[in-house]
Structure 1
Amino acid sequence: MTANEDQEMELEALRSIYEGDECFKEISPVSFQFRIGELEDTKAFILDVTWPEMYPETAPQISLDAFFNNRIGPDTKTLILSKLNEQVEANLGTAMMYTLFEWAKENQQTLMENHQPVITAVTLASSSDITTSTSTAKKKEKKEQLTKAQKRRITNRTDNKGELPRGWDWVDVIK
């Protein structure tokens, strides 16, 4: 089999395995993203994998340059990449994408055990903006509370559509 035939077969297998999985994203027929962990998890990361022309005989290009990974420190990134490259070397010559993704999912805790979330000025500014906007929204939502008697009077004056009858505020003409 040629490299292109191997790639087509593996691409078809990946599409069928990860169909409907929100963690897997096919950027192009030779480029993929796979999220390890849940979105809210601080230890989650995204693998960017690109196949070279002679894949699977040559190793795929793996990177952690996605914006999602900005909260991961450089030491942790190099550890993850070195461990994944060990797996690539062990599986060289065979279709390895599923194996890599599953290995990364199973070993997420060990890969991220020394991880300290990187706090940037962008995350601090955005979190403070969120808290101020939610507090002002809560203040605006507060409505005037009516008593039961007030509510009853309103419903007695309105028709079944909630509208007041024509002329409800007219003054009676005195004879």
Structure 2
Amino acid sequence: MTANEDQEMELEALRSIYEEDECFKELSPTSFQLRIGDHEDPKAFLLDVSWPETYPETGPSLSLQAFFNNRISSTTKKDIISKLEEQVEANLGEAMMYTLFEWAKENQAALMENHQPVKDAVASNAVSVSKKKEKKEQLTKAQKKKIISRTDNKGELPRGWNWVDVVKHLSKTGGAED
């Protein structure tokens, strides 16, 4: 069999196995994503796998660069990739995607044993901004009394309250007849 025939057969098998699985995503006929662990699990990670043209004679490329993995430290990512590449080397020359995915699922705890969550700079910045309280404008006692004296029992200003001030002002300044 040629590499393309092997790829087509494995692609068919993957589609039938992971048809209803929400953790598996086919990005293209040679590129896949698999979420290892539950979405809310802090030790879950998203594995990107791409097949080269000569797959399965050469191993697939593995990546943990998805945004979902931004809370995983780079050393933990390197450890996971190195352990997965060991599995790739052991299965080289045969269809290995299902084996690789299932091995990652079974060994998730071992792969993430040294996991220390990375604090995201954006998230920590957002928390510090939200902690700052908005300063409310404080009124003095005199300002409060003045507001209360102008309003009625419902807290509303009486009708025409601003016209009285205009008439007083005009009476003091005089009119055009003076």
Fold-level similarity (TM above 0.5) = yes
Question: Which residue does the alignment assign to 1:70?
Answer: 70
| Counterpart residue number, 1:95 | 95
- Please show how residues 131-170 of structure 1 align to structure 2 within 5 Å: none
1:21 aligns with 2:18: no
- Mapping 1:111-150, distance limit 5 Å: 111-125=111-125
Which amino acid in 1 is paired with 2:113?
Answer: E
Q: 3-state SS of the aligned residue for 2:70? A: helix
Identity %: 74
Change in Cα spacing, 1:120 to 1:55, as seen in structure 2 (3 Å) is: same
Structure 1 CA distance, aligned partners of 2:129 and 2:104? Answer: 35
Q: Quote the residue 2:176 is aligned against.
A: none
- Is 1:52 aligned to 2:52, yes or no? yes
Aligned partner of 1:79: which letter?
Answer: D
Deviation at 1:126, TM superposition (A): 5.2
From the CA coordinates, give the structure whose radius of gyration is larger. 2
Tell me, yes or no, if structure 1 residue 110 matches structure 2 residue 75: no
User: What is the aligned-residue RMSD (CA, Å)?
Assistant: 1.8
Q: Which amino acid aligns with 1:42?
A: P
Counterparts of 2:19 and 2:38, CA distance in 1: 18
Task: Tell me the TM-score normalised to structure 1 length.
Answer: 0.71
The answer for the alignment partner of 1:2 in structure 2 is 2
The 1-side partners of 2:41 and 2:130 are apart by 19
Pairwise CA distance, 1:130: 9.1
Structure 1 spans left out of the alignment, 5+ residues: 132-175
Secondary structure of 2:26's match? strand
Which residue of structure 1 aligns with residue 85 of structure 2?
85
Aligned AA for 2:78?
A: T
Q: Distance in 1 between matches of 2:124 and 2:17?
A: 38
In structure 2, give the amino acid aligned to 1:68.
F
CA, structure 1 residues 127+34, in 2 after alignment: closer, same or farther (shift >3 Å)? farther
- Aligned pairs, number: 132
